[in-house]
Amino acid sequence: MIPVQGFEGQNVAVLGLGRSGLAAARALVAGDAVPVCWDDSPEARERAMAEGFAVRELTRAGAFDDIASLVVSPGIAHLYPAPNPVISAAWAAGVPVDNDIGMFFRSLALSDWDQYDVLPRVVAVTGSNGKSTTSALIHHILSESGRESQLAGNIGRGVLDIDPPGEAGVVVLELSSYQTDLARSLTPDVAVFTNLSPDHLDRHAGLGGYFAAKRRLFAEGGPDRAVIGVDEAEGQYMANQLSEGPGDDRVIRISSGQKLGGPGWDVFARKGFLSEWRKGRQVASVDLRGIKGLPGAHNHQNACAAFAVCRALGMGPKQIEAALHSFSGLPHRSQIVAEAGGVSYVNDSKATNVDSAVKALLAFDNIRWICGGLQKDGGLDGLAPGLGNVRKAYVIGREAAGFALGLGGTEAEICTTMQVAVAHAMAEAEPGDVVLLAPATASFDQYDNFEQRGNDFMARVREGLGLSQEVSTES
């Protein structure tokens, strides 16, 4: 646990008592502060009280009179589409509002760091797509190489729940826009921006607000090194803003699909090969084509980001390459479920928007595509580049008919349920086909989350193949 510093003997309010909220309350106690907790859910409040935490209705008059700060869980809106009433009350009382990420950065450095020859480092990864895989891949490479590493944030453990890092240890954080938008302290040693595509637009009042939330990771604290995906204009803009000139190697530009050049530091992937260039010369190359855990151009971009981070942390190319080959991927992200009769079954339930789904479609040929669910803003036009790889779509969800109409000339069958979609796709699949779940939508019309949707897909596949029904519940 990371004890929260700076609030000794003071009351600190905690809004939202899920994983991050309860971890924040425990870390406040460890730092000799007094958490005062609230959640709209009676069950959540009961869990907090069972741990001995004080509970207080934070919208009542005078609730913030003795409060030094408010810590807000990431799922709670603080500005758009409307501020939560508790946050408005904190503003009115002049109480600073923060989240667990901000508390983490202000509290990480401990007195025993004075004894270290090599200080711990923090790597923070954000972006629209690929940040989970990139974060896990960095953690995997470090761990495989024998270096102390912990994975936390939007993946793995809560940031305040990790162990204090030891000498030369690395903390790898995946950070969503919800987390970067509110944190009052953001000071990673290495920060990564993977890419940008429209998502969470209601929470950020549009694409500009969404990008601004991501950009805070780089603008607030100024990382020693910034790894920036430059395949979109926003990444090009940010790389330019952070750089003092063409040869400034504090910015490492990454790309999938285009060759980068110039006197700076670049890592890019083309036709399945990763290349590292510094000062106008190639210094390393990795063949990514045979790495099953990283299929497709989007995962090659993730590999470029992880490679760049580990190089910035002082690792050698061969050491990184060896670890890439042992990476098996993450559950629900281009996850190979089974291979039978010449047919591959791939679970990419995390493809919850059009941009991530089209990347999955471009990663495979001869696709029997299971898609559909609760559509997000923006329509389905962005799927067009990947539809040429689709032999047939099997559409699920309450909006299945409307989704099928949006696929143009692609053959589509309205299946509605996962059970029907998997059964029909398996029955029609031929050797060389890939049965792919990449929904391009949210899951909430039929499932609690994308993990549950992916687990249902895997269970149906294994049932159809007569395999064990043990399904991973990792997320």
Query: How far is Cα 64 from Cα 58, in angstroms, rounded to an integer?
Result: 7
Instruction: Give residue 8's pLDDT.
Output: 97
**Six token digits for residue 5:** 């510093």
- The answer to whether the CB of 355 falls within 8 A of the CB of 197 is yes
**Six token digits for residue 305:** 């980001």
Residue 375 domain-assigned (yes or no): yes
Residues annotated as binding site for ATP? 127-133
Residue 469 domain-assigned (yes or no): no
Residues 365 and 453 reside in one and the same domain: yes
Residues 141 and 261 reside in one and the same domain: yes
Residues 228 and 170 reside in one and the same domain: yes
**Six token digits for residue 35:** 């958490």
Domain that holds residue 169: 107-325
Residues 208 and 295 reside in one and the same domain: yes
**Six token digits for residue 92:** 């009115």
Residues annotated as binding site? 127-133
Residues 347 and 248 reside in one and the same domain: no
- The answer to whether the CB of 285 falls within 8 A of the CB of 272 is no
**Count of domains for the chain:** 3
* pTM for this model (two decimals): 0.85
Residues 382 and 296 reside in one and the same domain: no
Residues 321 and 386 reside in one and the same domain: no
Q: What is the pLDDT along the chain (475 residues), one digit of tens a residue?
A: 999 999 999 999 999 999 899 999 999 999 999 999 999 999 999 999 999 999 999 999 999 999 999 999 998 999 999 999 999 999 999 999 999 999 999 999 987 898 999 999 999 999 998 899 999 999 999 999 999 999 999 887 899 999 999 999 999 999 999 999 999 999 999 999 999 988 788 899 999 999 999 999 999 878 999 999 999 999 999 999 999 999 999 999 999 989 998 899 999 999 999 999 999 999 999 999 989 889 888 899 999 999 999 999 999 999 999 999 999 888 898 888 999 999 999 999 999 989 889 999 999 999 999 999 998 877 899 999 999 999 999 999 999 999 999 998 899 999 999 999 999 999 999 999 999 999 999 999 999 999 999 999 999 999 999 987 654 433 3
Instruction: Give residue 474's pLDDT.
Output: 37
Which residues in 129-165 are b (16+ Cβ under 10 Å) and which e?
A: bbbbbbbbbbbbbbbbbebebbbbbbbbebbbbbebb
**Six token digits for residue 312:** 């910035």
Query: How far is Cα 2 from Cα 287, in angstroms, rounded to an integer?
Result: 39
Residues 160 and 266 reside in one and the same domain: yes
Residues 140 and 31 reside in one and the same domain: no
